[in-house]
Structure formats: C-alpha cells, structure tokens
Amino acid sequence: MAEKILIVDDEIACRRLIDWILQNQGYEVLGVGSGTEAIRKAIAEKPDLVILDVMMPLMDGFEVCKRLRADAITRRIPVIMMSAGRSLPDDVITGFRAGADDYLIKPFLPAELISRIHKVLG
C-alpha cells in the first residue's frame, strides 16, 4: 500500500506541482488549502507525512504544526515545513521549535523533495 502524504498549501499551483511529483513516485496524495482543513484531514486520514507551507492566511504553518503536535492522533505524523526562498533563518528555527521534522525552502528541485521525504519516512 502506498504511503499517504498530505500537502498543505494555499497556492493551488504549488499543491498541484507537488501532487504530480509525489504521484509519479508512487505516493498517495491528499491536498488542502488551509490550516483548518489540514488539521481536520490529518485527524481523519492519518497520513504518513504532512508537507506544510508556512505562509497561509488565517492560520500559518507554524500554528498548524503546533496543533498537530498537541493532538494525540496526529502528534507522531512527521511534518516537513516549506516556505519561500525569502524566508529568514529565524523561520527555519521557528519551524523546528513548532515541531517540524525538516524544513524545505521554495523553490526546490523535485529530487530534493523526494530525498527529504525518504529521510523523514525512513
């Protein structure tokens, strides 16, 4: 059975690109566009991994990650956070403090994304 990955990004083009990359690698992919949807979907679907954008309206990725870590159902699901290349080094530190397992800077190469997924999923 294919590993299930939840992509959380308010930019549909970014979600579609990552979805395409992951499906070509044999992953089952779920996608949502907000933090609230991400938490609901993670609880309902229990994905093997969450790929989580930082910059989203209403609830940013840091808060989503904290909430996933605080919930008994989702606390063990690995999270790779991602943000735009103009991110500050403090954003990476904030991501790790929120509970992220890894952090990816956009734009990234598909091979880098797949390598980080393999690293996190073991």
- The CATH number linked to 96 is 3.40.50.2300
pLDDT mean over 72-84: 96
DSSP the chain: -PPEEEEE-S-HHHHHHHHHHHHHTT-EEEEESSHHHHHHHHHHH--SEEEEES--SSS-HHHHHHHHHHSTTTTTS-EEEEEETT--HHHHHHHHHHT-SEEEEES--HHHHHHHHHHHH-
**What is the rounded distance in angstroms from the CA atom of residue 103 to the CA atom of residue 116?**
9
- pLDDT, residue 84, reads 85
Print the SS3 string covering 19-39. Answer: HHHHHHCCCEEEEECCHHHHH
Sign of CA dihedral 100, 105, 109, 112: negative
Region 100-108: mean pLDDT is 94
Q: How many domains does the chain have?
A: 1
CA 17, 27, 110, 121 dihedral sign is: positive
Average pLDDT over residues 44-55: 97
Domain, as residue range, for 91: 4-121
Q: How confident is the model at residue 1 (pLDDT cuts 50, 70, 90)?
A: confident
